[in-house]
Amino acid sequence: MTFDVRGYAAHSPSDDLVPYRFARRSPRPDDVTIEILFCGVCHSDLHTARNDWRNTVYPVVPGHEIVGRVTSVGPAVTRFRPGDRVGVGCLVDACRHCEACAAGLEQFCQEGPTFTYNSTDRLDRTPTQGGYSERIVTSERFVLRIPDGLDLAGAAPLLCAGITTWSPLRHWQAGPGRRVGVVGLGGLGHMALKLGKALGAELTLFTRSPGKEADARRLGADHIVLSTDAAQMKAVRNRFDLIIDTVPYAHDLNPYLPTLRHDGTLVLVGFLGKLDAMLNTTSLVVGRKAVAGSFIGGLPETQEMLDFCGAHGVTSDVEIIRMQDINAAYARMLRSDVKYRFVIDMASLKAV
């Protein structure tokens, strides 16, 4: 027996999101049923709603920064109980046995992971639908525990913006004595600053927006560079061990490469696709530098990040909105007018 839930869906790339009723699957023995309390609004939700990646199957209910409370568990569930504070991020399943899955890197599942929305359930082949909704049903293997003491709304963005920046910070060993640059101060960028600071790195924000300086410092940046100012870019040549680039659209990477010190790495997490500007390899070759990518994080690493945030009191700076405000929120996100993550209060769905 499936059950009906209310949510908001996009039905085409150009139409606003609208109220939408759909069926959640009947819980399986290893499933946790979660009442969604808050859901963060990621730029990937917008990319998917607008079909920017040319793979959207409509109607789609976005949302992969989900936090809530467990309402029931299947008989095979061992780690969760009704009432627990839990989260669901970008992944709801994977093959569970390939080399990547065995290593806890489900995001790189060799058979392709099942995403929280715009994906297909591995067993019943129904479309997966995300967190802009009342409830979700997820295998316990893909459910995260939200540490006590963390504000639930502020914790929601950790499920994507948090882990997406945590993973490269950890992989490329950000910490004391390491200089880290962050490109773009949005949802991902502000979490990169907060997490990088908590890890002890020296942080520099690259932004094209004058006026973000005070916020950036408050969020953890030691230095701010206006990326449109050639003199400021020149002043930070040979500086960074790691740069995390969160810009969502195609842009020229060449100005950033000379700012890496030898053996430095520029990690792309924002833009997926083909870059228009040719890469000038001189700076890479002369300096043994790398351009790399990084994609969310696996389940063990996501729990590690949440536990770290619990221990260090790290949450996202959020602006709480009603579900009904989502279209205006997307418009503001496109103008970089977000401080620094919209989070939907799902109680607002009751008024729809």
Ligand X SMILES: NC(=O)c1ccc[n+]([C@@H]2O[C@H](COP(=O)([O-])OP(=O)(O)OC[C@H]3O[C@@H](n4cnc5c(N)ncnc54)[C@H](OP(=O)(O)O)[C@@H]3O)[C@@H](O)[C@H]2O)c1
Q: Which CB, 34 or 39, lies closer to Zn ion?
A: 39
From the centroid of its chain, how far is CA 276?
25
Please, what sign has the CA dihedral across residues 295, 300, 306, 310? negative
**φ, ψ of residue 272 in degrees (nearest 5):** -115, 120
44 makes contact with Zn ion (CB under 5 A): yes
246 binds Zn ion (CB under 5 A): no
Closest CA to 337 of 244, 212, 163: 212
For the bound state, the minimum distance from the C-beta of residue 295 to ligand X, rounded and expressed in Å, comes to 4
User: 225 or 338, CB closer to Zn ion?
Assistant: 338
Q: Least distance from C-beta 285 to ligand X, angstroms?
A: 26
Q: Which residues contact 80 (CB under 8 A, 6 or more apart)?
A: 32, 70, 73, 86, 140, 143, 145
List the structure tokens of 165.
């920046």
One residue of 17, 160, 169, 349 binding Zn ion per CB under 5 A: 160
272 binds Zn ion (CB under 5 A): no
- The answer to whether residue 253 forms part of the interface with Zn ion (CB under 5 A) is no
- How far is 78 from 250, CA to CA, in rounded Å? 44
Which are the contacts of 16, defined by CB distance < 8 A and separation ≥ 6? 10, 327
CB atoms within 10 A of CB 237: 13
Structural tokens at position 290: 């790398």
**Cβ closer to ligand X: 176 or 211?**
211
Radius of gyration of the chain from Cα atoms? Answer: 20
Measured from the CB atom, is 139 or 294 closer to ligand X? Answer: 294
HSE-CB for 75 with a 13 A CA cutoff: 0
Report which secondary-structure segment, H or E, holds 165: helix 161-171
In the list ligand X, Zn ion, none, the entry touching 144 (Cβ below 5 to 8 angstroms by class) is none
Smallest gap from Cβ 6 to ligand X, in A, equals 25
Give 29 or 210: the residue with its C-beta nearer to ligand X: 210
For ligand X, give the closer residue by CB, 241 or 245. Answer: 245
State in angstroms the smallest separation of the CB of 273 from ligand X: 10
Angular region, 66: left φ>0, alpha ψ -120 to 50, beta rest: beta
- Nearer CB in complex with Zn ion: 94/338: 94
- Using Cβ positions, the residue closest to ligand X within the complex turns out to be 186
Number of residues engaging Zn ion in binding (CB under 5 A): 8
Please classify residue 214 by burial: count the beta carbons closer than 10 Å to its beta carbon, then call 0-12 exposed, 13-18 middle and 19+ buried: exposed
270 binds, among Zn ion, ligand X, none (CB under 5 to 8 A by kind): ligand X
For the bound state, the minimum distance from the C-beta of residue 124 to ligand X, rounded and expressed in Å, comes to 26
| Contact partner at residue 71 from Zn ion, ligand X, none, CB < 5 to 8 Å by partner kind | none
CB of 210 to Zn ion, least distance (A): 27
Choose the one of Zn ion, ligand X, none that binds residue 184, judging by a C-beta under 5 to 8 angstroms depending on kind: ligand X
DSSP letters along 31-64, please? EEEEEEEEEE--HHHHHHHTTTTS---SSB----
Q: Which is nearer to Zn ion, 44 or 133 (CB)?
A: 44
Nearest distance from residue 318's CB to ligand X, in Å?
A: 12
Beta strands in 104-164 (DSSP E): 114-115, 135-139, 144-145
**Site residues (CB under 6 A) for ligand X?**
42-44, 47, 160-161, 164, 184-189, 207-209, 212, 246-249, 251, 269-270, 294-296, 333, 336, 338
Q: Which is nearer to Zn ion, 42 or 346 (CB)?
A: 42
Cis before 147 (ω within 30):
no
Residues 93-132 that bind Zn ion (CB under 5 A): 94-95, 98, 101, 109
Does position 56 interact with Zn ion (CB under 5 A)? The reply is: no
Residue 212 interacts with, from Zn ion, ligand X, none (CB under 5-8 Å by kind): ligand X
Residues in contact with Zn ion by CB under 5 A are: 42, 44, 94-95, 98, 101, 109, 160
